[in-house]
Structure 1
Amino acid sequence: MAPTATTTLAHARYSSPVGLVDLVGGLAGLRRCGWSLDVPGTSDELDETMAEALAQVVAYFAGELRTFDLVLDLPPMEPRKRAVLDAMATIEYGEVITYAELGRRSGTGLPPRAIGSLMGGNPVPIVIPCHRVVAADGLGGFSGGERGHELATKRWLLEHEGALPPSLF
């Protein structure tokens, strides 16, 4: 069966200050966002939904956008993971909270390590801002960014938002 307008996924790539950011989605919304994603079978012809997603990501990196307003087409997920992603989506630009605080906000009662594990499966980092969640004693982890540069990417995103002072080195 040939793909239809409702099933065809489009792919956009943006060369950001922290590497190549890929966006995947279609008319139903943004499905994935990440660094150097493997996206076989997608089109490079963007529909209006994906053109808007790309425009908002570009504006975010240019410092012109603080809050994303995009339709998301997230996959089905376990209720606790959905609760964590929903709570993460409410973290404001420039705000930083701990994994423990995210556990409280999500209502899941999960310990920080479990929260971090669920966050690692965030299909749309940056848009659902997992970089704004840190450990009680430091940056914590980050699964976004170019391979080998994950924590540097998290630090850059937090500096970009004014949540961390710029690194001297």
Structure 2
Amino acid sequence: MQELSCKDVVDRIPALVAGDLGAEAVAAIDRHTATCAACAREVAQGRALAGLLDQMAERSAVAPPGGSLLDTLPIVAYDRIDSPVGPLLVAVSPRGLCRVDYGGTEAEIVAWAESQRLVSRHDPDAVRPYATQLQEYFAGARQHFDLQVDLAAVSPFTRRVLEATAQVPFGRLVTYRDIARIIGQPGATRAVGNALGSNPVPIVVPCHRVVRSDGTIGGYTGGLAIKWHLLAIEGVTLPTV
């Protein structure tokens, strides 16, 4: 089979996700998407839609009046924004901010959304209110985020850790041990560190304000240079060793 264009691939997505294409056609799509990120994203979104529709059909989901089943699907809007610590991929679900990824790619957010049974869509307008507050923070014009945060994808323990961390004020520091005590598990210092390492919304849930008990900086999911930068924005200094 001859090589496919982007239009050919997009036109074949409904048949692909329905299982109506032959092996040769599927192989041609696979070859194309291996080198075309945009089409790979379209195929991933099509498969995610198909999976969600199957789930809804199994549950006898009913379309809203005047609408379709697609209108009921949860959408994750995302956009890539510039920042002083490098590009950030920001994603928003119907429940609020769900991802802030340092250097994240579109392919990664599409794959993550699919793993959560969500549909991803590049939508700068939907992300803009969240991006604006992040940019205000970096500019030193915001000390508190007025945003809804969606932590549905994290474990109950991680949620408790992140909710406690979210209460740490601008320019203040706490230790991993402090967070463990706040959540009622004083022996879980290491687990707290692991939970903060998987924080899906850094900066907004300020895990950069959590340090070691000896006053040194500790670790950070985005790298220590970013943690130092965020603390500097807030006027915080720490020992370098």
Q: Shorter-chain TM-score category?
A: 0.7 to 0.9
Give the Cα–Cα distance (whole angstroms) in 2 for the partners of residues 26 and 79 of structure 1.
19
After superposition, the Cα gap between the structure-2 partners of 1:122 and 1:88, relative to the gap in structure 1 and judged at 3 Å, is same
Give the Cα–Cα distance (whole angstroms) in 2 for the partners of residues 47 and 53 of structure 1.
10
Q: Is the 8 A contact 2:151 2:159 kept in 1?
A: no
**Structure 1 segment 4-153 matched on structure 2, within 5 A:** 4=71, 7-37=74-104, 38-40=108-110, 42-48=120-126, 50-137=127-214, 138-144=216-222, 150-153=223-226
Q: What amino acid maps onto 2:229 in structure 1? A: W
Give the Cα–Cα distance (whole angstroms) in 1 for the partners of residues 187 and 81 of structure 2.
35
> How far apart are residue 20 of structure 1 and its match?
0.8
> How far apart are residue 88 of structure 1 and its match?
0.1
TM-score by length of structure 1 reads 0.84
Q: Give ranges in structure 1 of 5+ residues lacking alignment.
A: 145-149
Give the Cα–Cα distance (whole angstroms) in 2 for the partners of residues 53 and 6 of structure 1.
22
Select between 100-109 and 56-65 the one with higher mean Cα deviation: 100-109
Question: Based on CA coordinates, which of the two structures has the bigger radius of gyration?
Answer: 2
Instruction: Select the structure that is richer in helix.
Output: 2
Q: What amino acid maps onto 2:95 in structure 1? A: A
Higher relative contact order at CA 8 Å, sep ≥6: structure 1 or structure 2? 1
Q: What amino acid maps onto 1:15 in structure 2? A: D
> How far apart are residue 76 of structure 1 and its match?
4.4
After superposition, the Cα gap between the structure-2 partners of 1:60 and 1:3, relative to the gap in structure 1 and judged at 3 Å, is farther
Deviations 1:21-48 (A, max 9, x none): 1111133211111212222263222455
> How far apart are residue 141 of structure 1 and its match?
0.5
> How far apart are residue 111 of structure 1 and its match?
3.2
Task: Determine what percentage of the aligned residue pairs are the same residue.
Answer: 36
How many residues are treated as equivalent by the alignment?
160
CA RMSD of aligned residues (A): 2.1
Q: Is the 8 A contact 1:6 1:26 kept in 2?
A: no
Q: Give ranges in structure 2 of 5+ residues lacking alignment.
A: 1-52, 54-68, 111-118
Give the Cα–Cα distance (whole angstroms) in 2 for the partners of residues 67 and 101 of structure 1.
21
